[in-house]
């Protein structure tokens, strides 16, 4: 990374652009009544993806940026599962038909903290409320430290076909610094259990920029991970936002690598995975050639949603659970973040929507541009603008943040075609931000650009 680019852009706080506009711009103006209307207006041919948020863990990982809480009593988890089932029924009833479902994703927290029978009941409730296609991808995020054989069997019987394992780092020094001690052997045993159960899609999540992390420790984690041959890797930069996530204050600021060191770690991981035969996809994903995500990247059909890069082509994402976000053609909705408020709404027979955002025509145009930049490191502005009844020249004039990126060689413009320079792809979020009409650079709401 050029030192001048690091100085100019590396410390900027920018969104990851898993949506546009991003969640900080959601407003209570969009509530349960609006969500109910949007659901009732869904086209007859619409299909959906489902996201279920399970906000519980047995212990707090200090790097975590998710909405989750530590729970010891299984009764709380069981009550939450019952509330999820009620919310699923409410949403299905509001839609008025069994909408087709092509993707289901369990996130958290630790979704597998549920009892195996409770997980099976939840899957059965979704199949009753929606038409889950036989080809649907059903993915579950997993903490290898707590997964049991009984839960793996429940997942198998419920049709789960993809598992995303949190690895982060195998370096014991780093693990102790983030309060997540997880041995390689634990991870290997879980991978073996999943594959023996026929759950063939295996993803690993790695993180760089953690306390005491080095290029050498990153490469050792990659080496050990490769020995388990996952289909995909997600490689994220740690977002240190202790003002918003109080538990992150347990991590010493002085132990964190600076922007240049973070970039060196990210590049080392990327180069090692590419040398091992994985295809780099967008900013932070890697997949084996022939994997559906690699194919989507090659065919330029890759999409981006709240789980990151995805093969999901649907226009409807239904979110269930406390803090869950949904995306409909009309806009975004988010449930109550606090578990108690969420449960109170659902158990009273009301949709739990707390806030959202109604999309304008300009938002849709900019969302398409930003998504193509994030997925393809470029965008045909002429084509995208024409589809939205807009002029590329007008859009470029409004993107004042683009000018220094062009003069610094980060971006090339060939007519209306924009491309991020190959050696500057680590700044793709900075390029996407040039088209963000809502961005407030003064607010430290996001992670560093590098």
Q: 370: closest CA among 399, 390, 331, 403?
A: 399
Give rounded-to-5 percent helix, strand, coil for the chain.
40, 20, 35
| Entry field: residues in the chain | 450
pTM: 0.93
pLDDT tens sequence for the chain (450 residues): 566 787 678 778 799 999 999 999 999 999 999 999 999 999 989 999 999 999 999 999 999 988 899 998 999 999 999 999 999 999 999 999 999 999 999 999 999 999 999 999 999 999 999 999 999 999 999 999 999 999 999 999 999 999 999 999 999 999 999 999 999 999 999 999 999 999 999 999 999 999 999 999 999 999 999 999 999 999 999 989 898 899 999 999 999 998 889 889 999 999 999 999 999 999 899 999 999 999 999 999 999 998 889 999 888 999 999 999 999 999 999 999 999 999 999 999 999 999 999 999 999 999 999 999 999 999 999 999 999 999 999 999 999 999 999 999 999 999 999 999 988 888 999 999 999 999 976 555 566 656
Residue 34, CA distances (Å) to 83, 273, 305, 358 in order: 21, 45, 22, 9
Q: Domains of the chain: which residue ranges?
A: 18-358, 361-448
Angle 348-349-355 from CA coordinates, rounded to 5°: 90
Task: List, in sequence order, every residue forming a beta bridge with 325; answer none if it has no partner.
Answer: 334
User: What angle in degrees, to the nearest 10, is found between the helix axes of 149-157 and 116-129?
Assistant: 20
Alpha-carbon distance of 359 to 285, in angstroms, equals 28
Calpha distance 276→256 (Å, rounded): 28
Q: Could you give the CA distance from residue 418 to residue 441 in angstroms, rounded to a whole number?
A: 23
Given this structure, which CATH class describes domain 361-448?
Answer: mainly alpha
Domain 18-358 has CATH 3.80.30.20: yes
CB–CB of 159/138 below 8 Å? yes
The answer to whether 360 and 388 are in contact (CB under 8 A) is: no
């Amino acid at each position: 990374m050029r030192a001048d680019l690091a100085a100019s852009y590396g410390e900027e706080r920018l969104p990851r652009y898993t949506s546009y506009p991003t969640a900080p711009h959601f407003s209570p103006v969009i509530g349960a009544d609006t969500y109910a209307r949007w659901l009732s207006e869904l086209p007859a041919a619409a299909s959906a993806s489902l996201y279920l948020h399970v906000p519980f863990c047995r212990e707090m990982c200090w790097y975590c940026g998710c909405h989750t809480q530590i729970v010891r009593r299984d009764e709380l988890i069981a009550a939450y599962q019952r509330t999820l089932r009620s919310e699923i029924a409410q949403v299905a009833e509001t839609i008025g038909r069994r909408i087709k479902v092509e993707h289901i994703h369990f996130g958290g927290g630790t979704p597998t903290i549920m009892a195996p029978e409770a997980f099976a009941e939840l899957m059965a409730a979704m199949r009753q409320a929606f038409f889950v296609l036989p080809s649907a991808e059903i993915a579950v995020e997993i903490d290898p430290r707590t997964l049991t054989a009984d839960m793996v069997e429940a997942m198998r019987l419920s049709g789960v076909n993809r598992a995303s394992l949190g690895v982060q780092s195998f370096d014991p020094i780093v693990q102790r610094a983030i309060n997540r001690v997880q041995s390689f052997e634990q991870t290997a045993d879980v991978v073996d259990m999943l594959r023996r159960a026929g759950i063939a899609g295996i993803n690993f999540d790695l993180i760089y920029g953690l306390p005491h992390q080095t290029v050498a420790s990153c490469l050792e984690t990659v080496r050990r991970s490769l020995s388990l041959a996952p289909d995909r890797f997600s490689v994220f930069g740690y977002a240190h936002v202790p003002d918003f996530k109080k538990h992150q204050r347990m991590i010493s600021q002085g132990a964190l690598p600076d922007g240049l060191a973070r970039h060196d770690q990210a590049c080392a991981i990327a180069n090692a995975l590419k040398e091992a035969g994985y295809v780099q996809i967008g900013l932070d994903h890697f997949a084996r050639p022939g994997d559906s995500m690699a194919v989507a990247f090659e065919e330029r059909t890759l999409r981006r949603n709240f789980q990151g890069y995805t093969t999901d082509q649907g226009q409807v994402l239904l979110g269930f659970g406390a803090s869950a976000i949904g995306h409909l053609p009309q806009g975004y909705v988010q449930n109550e973040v606090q578990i108690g408020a969420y449960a109170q709404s659902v158990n009273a027979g009301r949709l739990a929507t707390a806030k959202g955002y109604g999309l304008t025509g300009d938002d849709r145009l900019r969302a398409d541009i930003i998504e193509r930049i994030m997925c393809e490191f470029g965008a045909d502005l002429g084509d995208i603008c024409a589809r939205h009844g807009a002029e590329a020249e007008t859009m470029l004039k409004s993107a004042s943040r683009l000018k220094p990126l062009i003069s610094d060689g980060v971006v090339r413009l060939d007519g209306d075609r924009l491309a991020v320079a190959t050696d500057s792809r680590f700044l793709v979020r900075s390029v996407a931000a040039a088209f963000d009409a809502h961005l407030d650079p003064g607010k430290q709401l996001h992670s560093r650009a590098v």
